[in-house]
């Protein structure tokens, strides 16, 4: 038997040397048959198979399917995580862009407001200087005045007392044409000055044409905000304003300093269609 294997080894060496190919178990079996006979070869072949068992091949068993399914789930989860990270990153980028744009807009607006405030302050300082120079010049020359001809001054305001009569709306239009508006009374000093200049009723810039009972000055400032009122009141009769409708069904929606009966030191409501003298200011 030792001689047989020795001869077989020589034969295999010869095969590998001459052909330079891999020799399978079946090739060896065929070679041995030639040397020892079929029966001996089969016994030896079975012995060699026991020494060199076949490698198990992976088949599509249930275990493999579970592994493949698990790998698929992991891949799907990883993809979903990447998508979520991408969305969050994009949202953050967009949010940062919006915040940056709003910040830039706010900064630009603040710069504009700062410039306007600086410019207003500069103009105010120039006006103060000019006013001081003008007042100083007037103190030396008593003929100069702060107001145009036909206007009377009180402080920094100029007043025009009409010599003709118009209704309330026409009076306001006339004052606007002259560069002013119907007078707005904001204090006792101003009230006393106006009273001292008139001898009969005059329109002033106060009305409740838009909403009954809500009196507004011609500059759209509510009367309640000024906190100054001089309405007429007397025992035995309703206080002004009383919105009397005997002469005008629309009521009395415009204010005047004084009434037809006098009392020029107080305010009265009257029909806006009445003809009265008026006081302008600017």
Cα angle at 151 between 174 and 153, to 5 degrees? 125
Please check whether residue 75 lies inside any domain of the structure.
no
Range of the domain at 15: 2-51
**Which CATH number fits the domain that encloses residue 245?**
3.10.100.10
Please check whether residue 46 lies inside any domain of the structure.
yes
Q: How far apart are CA 243 and CA 254, in angstroms?
A: 9
**C-alpha closest to that of 9 among 44, 39, 42:** 44
Q: What is the pLDDT of residue 88?
A: 84
Same domain, 190 and 159: yes
Q: How far apart are CA 144 and CA 138, in angstroms?
A: 6
Q: Are 217 and 181 a contacting pair, CB within 8 Å?
A: no
Same domain, 165 and 190: yes
Please check whether residue 251 lies inside any domain of the structure.
yes
For residue 12, the surrounding DSSP H or E stretch is helix 2-19
If DSSP codes are grouped into helix, strand and coil, which group holds residue 33? helix
Which of 27, 51, 75 is the last residue in one of the domains? 51
Q: What is the pLDDT of residue 43?
A: 55
Q: Which two tokens stand for residue 17?
A: 């040397």
Q: What is the pLDDT of residue 74?
A: 85
Which of 129, 145, 161 is the last residue in one of the domains? 145
Please check whether residue 246 lies inside any domain of the structure.
yes
Q: What is the pLDDT of residue 227?
A: 87
Q: In this structure, what DSSP letter does residue 276 have?
A: B
Q: What is the pLDDT of residue 7?
A: 47
Structural domain count, the chain: 3
Average pLDDT per consecutive 10 residues, the chain (282 residues; last block may be shorter): 43 43 52 52 52 48 78 84 84 83 88 86 78 62 73 95 98 97 97 97 97 96 94 90 92 96 94 98 96
Compute the CA torsion angle 107, 113, 114, 115 (nearest 10 deg).
110
Same domain, 168 and 258: yes
Please check whether residue 60 lies inside any domain of the structure.
no
Same domain, 191 and 224: yes
Max distance between CA atoms of the chain, in angstroms, equals 159
Same domain, 124 and 209: no
pTM metric for this prediction: 0.51
> pLDDT tens-digit profile of 193-249?
999 999 999 999 999 999 999 999 999 999 999 889 999 998 888 899 999 998 899
Place of tokens 């010869």: 14
């Amino acid at each position: 038997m030792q001689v047989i294997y020795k001869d077989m080894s020589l034969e295999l060496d010869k095969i590998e040397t001459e052909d330079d190919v891999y020799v399978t178990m079946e090739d060896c079996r065929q070679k041995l048959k030639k040397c020892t006979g079929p029966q001996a070869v089969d016994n030896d072949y079975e012995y060699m198979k026991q020494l060199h068992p076949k490698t198990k091949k992976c088949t599509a068993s249930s275990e493999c399917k579970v592994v493949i399914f698990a790998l698929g789930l992991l891949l799907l989860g990883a993809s979903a995580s990447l998508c979520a990270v991408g969305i969050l990153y994009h949202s953050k980028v967009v949010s940062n862009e919006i915040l940056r744009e709003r910040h830039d807009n706010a900064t630009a607006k603040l710069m504009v407001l700062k410039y306007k405030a600086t410019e207003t302050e500069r103009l105010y300082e120039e006006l103060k200087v000019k006013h001081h120079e003008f007042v100083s010049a007037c103190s030396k020359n008593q003929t100069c005045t702060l107001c145009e001809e036909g206007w009377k001054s009180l402080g920094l305001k100029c007043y025009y007392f009409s010599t003709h009569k118009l209704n309330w709306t026409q009076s306001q239009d006339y004052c606007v044409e002259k560069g002013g508006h119907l007078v707005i009374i904001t204090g006792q000093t101003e009230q006393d000055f106006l009273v001292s200049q008139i001898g009969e009723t005059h329109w002033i810039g106060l009305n409740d044409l838009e909403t009954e009972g809500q009196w507004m000055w011609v500059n759209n400032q509510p009367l309640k905000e000024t906190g100054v009122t001089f309405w007429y009141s007397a025992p035995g009769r309703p206080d002004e304003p009383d919105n009397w409708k005997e002469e005008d069904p629309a009521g009395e929606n415009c204010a005047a300093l004084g009434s037809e009966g006098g009392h020029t030191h107080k305010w009265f409501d009257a029909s806006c269609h009445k003809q009265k003298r008026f006081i302008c200011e600017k």
